Amino acid sequence: MNLKDKIVKQEFIIEGINKGIDNLLKENWMWDVVSFVRSPPMFVAKKVFSSLGGKLADGIEDKKDEIDNAQASEDIQGLKKELDELMVLLKDFEKKKMETIGFNQIVIEFKKKVELDIIKLKSPEFQRNLVGVMYFKVVGVDETNRTIELKTSSFPDTIILNLKYETLTTYQDQKGEVNLIYSRYGDPDLRPVDGELEDCYFKIIETK
């Protein structure tokens, strides 16, 4: 075998190794998400949600791109089936996240009106106010950084409230920071767009 043939063979081997690594990486993110979904309820750090959620969102978007670029109808059908499976996995991911939270509802009284927006999205849809007593569904808690992620029926499901708190003790006046998060998936860990932080004065009335 001459030198040219050896180089071609070496390049072929390297190409095969790289493809294998790429496949392993793809399999690993899927396995990580599936393992998380199937695991028993436990405390999970916020960064784990963000990492797994980001990989899942990227996988869904990649699959949508494959469908858009596919030519043969049988290929499209197969890709749509794979996309449906990913969407089911996304629902299971959301359900598992809720299982790791100690409470799922919270009532907060805002002492002063807080005006919020996501300026980079340039739409009045994201101009929202917090005032008085408000009821929220809890969709995420980061105990390390003392932030809680909330939804309310008065906001679209794609808008999440991100509140930085001092304590979760009820009836204690506190100062924090709050901003809106937009996610097309309705999940702050899936391709979020953050709004501007604003100071807020509030107290927690009830958690359940």
- Per-residue confidence band for 107, with pLDDT thresholds at 50, 70 and 90: very high
Q: Which two tokens stand for residue 159?
A: 């808008």
- Per-residue confidence band for 114, with pLDDT thresholds at 50, 70 and 90: very high
Per cent of the chain over pLDDT 90 is 40
pLDDT at 8 over 80: no
pLDDT at 53 over 50: yes
Cα-based distances in Å from 79 to 52, 76, 89, 141, 185: 22, 5, 15, 34, 20
Residue 29: the pLDDT is 62
Round the average pLDDT of the chain to a whole number and report it.
80
- Rounded CA gap, 65 and 63, in Å? 5
Beta bridge partners of 176: 200
Cα-based distances in Å from 46 to 11, 93, 106, 159, 188: 41, 14, 19, 19, 11
For residue 73, give every residue at least 6 positions away whose Cβ sits within 8 Å of its Cβ, in sequence order, or none.
none
At 57-93, the pLDDT tens digits run 888 888 888 888 888 787 888 888 888 888 888 888 7
Beta bridge partners of 180: 161
- pTM exceeding the 0.85 threshold for the entire prediction: no
